[in-house]
Amino acid sequence: MSDIQIVLEPRRPFYFPGDTISGHVLVTLPKEKKVNEICLEANGRAHVVFWHGNGDDRHCYKGEKIYLRGNVTLWQKNKAKGEKYLPGGTQKYPFSLGVPYNCAPSLEGTHGHIRYKLKARLDLPWALDKSCEQEILVVAPINLSCDPIYTRPHVAHIHKNNAFTPSNTLQATVTIPRAAWVTSETIPVHVSVTNNSSNDVTGIEVAIIKREAFTGKDYRSHCPVTEQCVKKVYSSRAQVHIPSLTSSQTQVDVRVPANLITLTTCSVISMSYEIEVELHTKGIFSSCPSTCIPVIFSNVPMIQSPQASQVPTIEIQPSSFMPLPYPPNPMFPVVGQNEISSFTPMPQSTLYPNAPPPYSLYGSNPTLAVSSSTSDFLSSPEPRPRFPSAPPIESEKVPIESIRL
C-alpha cells in the first residue's frame, strides 16, 4: 500500500524564529507506480473565530494573519524525459525551509490559535492522493536585554479607608523581584500589610489573571470587532491572622503553570497576564481590596544579550587593509599606509550658504523670520541669470454691441 510520511532531521521539540526546518519525505510504494508529483506545503497562521451579538443581530467574526506559507515540489513527472513512474520500495526526498523572523509563538486561546504545520502530499493519477501532516512548535524567548523593566522589581500598593473614619485604613505593599518569568518557575510574592482598620485580615489570595483579546470581521460590514476574555488560571490563598492595629509581612509562592505565553505583536490575538493580590477581611459587609501587577510569561528559557562591556573589542592594525571589491579608479588612487600620516582632509566647502531652519521654526508668518545666511544670499550683489518670460496671451476683444443677452 502506498504511504508517505515526514521525518525531521534533527528532530527538535521546538524551533525559534529564524531557524531552519530540515528533514526528508519518505514515500513507500508497493510496486512501480505512475505519480504526478510529490510536494511539501508549509503553513503557519493565526486564526480567530467567535460569535458576537444576540438574536438576529448575532454574527460570526473571523480573523487571520499569515506567518508562514510555502510550497516545495520535491518530485514532478517529466513527459519529455519519460519520467512518469516511481520505482517500488521506499524513496527519500530531502527538504529544508526557514522559519521567518516575524513569526509569533504557537499558542491556543479561547477563540483562536496560532499553529504551524507541514503537509506532504503524494499526487497519484486516477486515485486518491496520500498525505500526512507534521505539527511544528514555534517559540519566542524573552530577551532580558531589550527592556530593563523585565529584570527590575515591581511594586503595587493597596489602600482602603473607611468613609466615616478616614484614619482607619488598611494598607499593603506587594513586591515581586522581576516582571519576566518562565513556565515552572516560582514567583515569590512579598506582601507587607499594615492594618489600622477595625477588621482583622484573615487571608491573602494571589492569582494569575489571563486577559485575551480576539479581533475579527464579519462578511457583511467588514468592521473589526474585538472579543475580550478574562479568566483566572491560577489561585493560591495563604491563611493569615493580622489583627487590628498591627503589621505583618507574608510571602506567597506562585508556580507558573504550563503554556502561558505573553503575546502583544499579533494583530488578531493578544494575550497578557497579571498577578492579582487580594486581602480577605473578617468583616461581614467589608469588601476585599486588591491590586494587580503586570507580568510577562514565556514557555522557553529567557536569553540575555551581552552588555557593551562584555563584547570583545577588535583592534584593527594600520597594516591590515581590506581588499577592494572592485578595481581602483586611476583618477582617485588608494591611500597607502605610508600616506596615512601625511593625509590632509579637504577643507569644508563654503560655496553654498547654510540651509534655512525648518518651516516649523518660523512661527505663524514664515516671512517674518529668515536666517542671516539666507538673507545674505538673497542680497548678494552677484548677478543671477535671468530667463525671458513667455509673452502675455492677448485675448480677442469682442465689441459690446455684438453681445446679445
Highest-pLDDT range among 85-94, 107-116, 161-170: 107-116
Q: Of the residues 264, 298, 332, which one is the last residue of a structural domain?
A: 298
pLDDT in tens, 10-23: 889 999 999 999 99
Angle among Cα 179, 180, 182 to the nearest 5 degrees reads 140
- Does 395 fall in a domain? no
Residue-range definition of the domain harbouring residue 285: 148-298
Co-location of 164 and 286 in the same domain: yes
- Residue 202's pLDDT is 93
- For 364-379, what is the mean pLDDT? 41
Q: At 113, which CATH number?
A: 2.60.40.640
Q: How much is the mean pLDDT over the chain?
A: 79
pLDDT in tens, 216-231: 998 887 889 999 999 9
Co-location of 167 and 227 in the same domain: yes
How does DSSP assign 127-142, residue by residue? SPPEEEEEEE-B----
Q: 168 to each of 160, 195, 245, 304, 391, how far by Cα in Å?
A: 9, 8, 9, 46, 91
Q: With 80 as the cut, is the pLDDT of residue 51 above it?
A: yes
Residues in the chain: 405
Q: With 60 as the cut, is the pLDDT of residue 347 above it?
A: no
Q: Of the residues 298, 320, 339, which one is the last residue of a structural domain?
A: 298
Alpha carbon 78 to its chain centroid, in Å, reads: 44
pLDDT in tens, 380-400: 444 444 445 455 555 454 454
State the burial class of residue 174 (Cβ atoms within 10 Å of its Cβ: 0-12, 13-18, 19+). buried
**Nearest residue to 222 (alpha-carbon basis) of 49, 61, 65:** 61
- Provide the number of structural domains found in the chain: 2
Query: For residue 22, what are the contacts with CB-CB under 8 A and spacing of at least 6?
Result: 8, 9, 10, 94, 95, 96, 97
State the burial class of residue 66 (Cβ atoms within 10 Å of its Cβ: 0-12, 13-18, 19+). exposed
**DSSP annotation of 309:** T
Co-location of 31 and 85 in the same domain: yes
- Residue 140's pLDDT is 87
Co-location of 9 and 36 in the same domain: yes
Long-range contacts of 329-335 (CB under 8 A, 24+ apart): none
Co-location of 113 and 7 in the same domain: yes
- Does 341 fall in a domain? no
Element housing 373 (H / E): helix 372-378
Give the pLDDT band of residue 40 (cuts 50, 70, 90). Answer: very high
Co-location of 117 and 174 in the same domain: no
Co-location of 126 and 159 in the same domain: no
Q: Of the residues 238, 264, 298, which one is the last residue of a structural domain?
A: 298
* Cell output for 366: 514664515
* Residue whose C-alpha cell is 513507500: 28
- Does 92 fall in a domain? yes
- Residue 395's pLDDT is 46
* Residue whose C-alpha cell is 516649523: 360
List helix spans (H) across 171-304: none
Longest Cα–Cα distance in the chain: 110
Co-location of 163 and 293 in the same domain: yes
pLDDT in tens, 231-282: 999 999 999 999 999 999 999 999 999 989 999 999 999 999 999 999 999 8
Co-location of 180 and 93 in the same domain: no
**Nearest residue to 318 (alpha-carbon basis) of 341, 302, 301, 298:** 341
pLDDT in tens, 126-184: 888 899 999 999 998 888 877 788 889 999 999 988 766 777 899 999 999 999 999 88
pLDDT in tens, 91-102: 999 999 999 999
Co-location of 23 and 154 in the same domain: no
- Does 11 fall in a domain? yes
Co-location of 205 and 115 in the same domain: no
Co-location of 199 and 287 in the same domain: yes
